[in-house]
Amino acid sequence: MCGPLALLAKVGDTRFLALCTCGALHLVWDNATIRLHQGDLSGVVRALQAPPKGSPGDLQVSTAAGAVHVWLLSVGLRLSPPDFEAFREMLARSQERLHSRTAAPPLSAAQPGCRQLN
């Protein structure tokens, strides 16, 4: 069950990343909420710095018509270039905060509804 969220980083009231008592990370960006496995965050942050090309995985980044399209698992976000920068920074800040937490809940393989990235 999802309980109180521990905020890791936010860009605004509708854009934030938080650690939930369910053990998953809740990435909220406007209308979309994406549940991420804690262990996947560093890989996502790395991939957003240098998006992998031509490999159809759970994270895809492409640019078209002046917008950046980010697909994470089954959720797609269409971001303006400044929003993409804000998104990347928010995730990077979250990763730093997550690693500096002293009382972080242990990584759990059993997080219902939270599939790990391939």
Q: Which residues bind Zn ion (CB under 5 A)?
A: 2, 20, 22
Which residue's CB is nearer to Zn ion, number 1 or number 103?
Answer: 1
Residue 20 CB, nearest distance to Zn ion (Å)?
3
Residue 78 CB, nearest distance to Zn ion (Å)?
25
Backbone angles phi and psi of 46, in degrees to 5: -60, -45
Which residue's CB is nearer to Zn ion, number 14 or number 33?
Answer: 33
Q: What is the DSSP string of 93-118?
A: HHHHHHHH-SSPPPP-S--TT-PPP-
Taking a C-beta distance cutoff of 8 angstroms, is the pair 116, 39 a contact? yes
Which residue's CB is nearer to Zn ion, number 68 or number 114?
Answer: 114
